[in-house]
Amino acid sequence: MRSIIRKDEQAVSPVIATILMVAITVVLAAVLYVMVSGLISGPGGTPTAWGVNIGKSGDQSNWTLTFTSIPSSAATNSVFITIRNAAGAAVSGATNVAFSTITAAGYNAMYFAPNTAGKVSTGDVLRLSAVSYPTGYQVQIVSGTSVVYTHALQ
């Protein structure tokens, strides 16, 4: 009976083997470079969330948003709030909250009581009318161009 296994033990030519080893090394080096360069450059301009506590006033007539933490790198003089209804449609335009008091018509008793006028700081309180903005409406706060807080009123 004849053996089916071949005795021919030749492999890939040395030139092709060298080309394959160089190609694999280049691909691994490129992957390693991409991984390391992403770690070294840092997060860049990624948005950072703000700490905000939502509650109701003692008489239940207002929502009280208290700023509990604000990153030091945040644009605190360019902060805007938008309120959306349960369907997601905006019911207030983007309103700058970095004023001593918001009294613009059509904003339904929305006002801001800051520690420092013209700048949002930790400890500041933003009050919204609970009648005009009932449970299920959503608050979105933007600092500069980054959304820093989004939460439903509940």
Fold of domain 51-152: Immunoglobulin-like (2.60.40)
Q: What is the pLDDT of residue 80?
A: 81
Task: List pLDDT tens digits, range 35-50.
Answer: 887 666 555 555 567 8
Separation between Cα atoms, residue 114 and residue 28, nearest integer Å? 54
The contacts of residue 130 (CB under 8 Å, 6+ apart) are 56, 57, 60, 61, 62, 63, 153
Provide the whole-model pTM. Answer: 0.58
**More confidently predicted of 8 and 37:** 37
Q: What is the pLDDT of residue 24?
A: 97
